[in-house]
Amino acid sequence: MQTVNIHEAKTQLSRLIEQAVQGDSFIITRAGKPLVKVTRLDAPTSGQARRLGFMAGQISVPEDFDRIGSEEIEGFFGAPE
């Protein structure tokens, strides 16, 4: 794995990022000590990107959900006007 000092990373950032995108990770160092490892992030496939509704049918919300704890809340703040 390639190591580059921080000054070189600043001046060659575009080239280094393209290198990482191609799968060649690298380490940025300062005074010879490793600071960070730069590596490619894999983009999710179309099947992985789905977020909303991913637990549909697996959980249920009680009918009185919006009233749970209302007595305690009234005790803290008083009854609503």
Domain presence at residue 33: yes
Domain presence at residue 34: yes
Domain presence at residue 11: yes
Whether 28 and 16 have beta carbons less than 8 Å apart is answered as no
Domain presence at residue 58: no
pLDDT of residue 15: 96
Q: What is the CATH number of the domain that holds 24?
A: 3.40.1620.10
Domain with 18, as residue range(s), is: 2-38
pTM of the model: 0.53
From the list 1, 2, 10, 6, the residue with the least C-alpha distance to 32 is 6
pLDDT of residue 54: 78
For the chain, the domain total comes to: 1
Whether 36 and 27 have beta carbons less than 8 Å apart is answered as yes
Per-residue pLDDT of the chain (81 residues; tens, 9 = 90+): 899 999 999 999 999 999 999 999 999 999 999 999 999 988 666 666 667 777 888 988 888 888 888 888 888 887 666
pLDDT of residue 26: 96
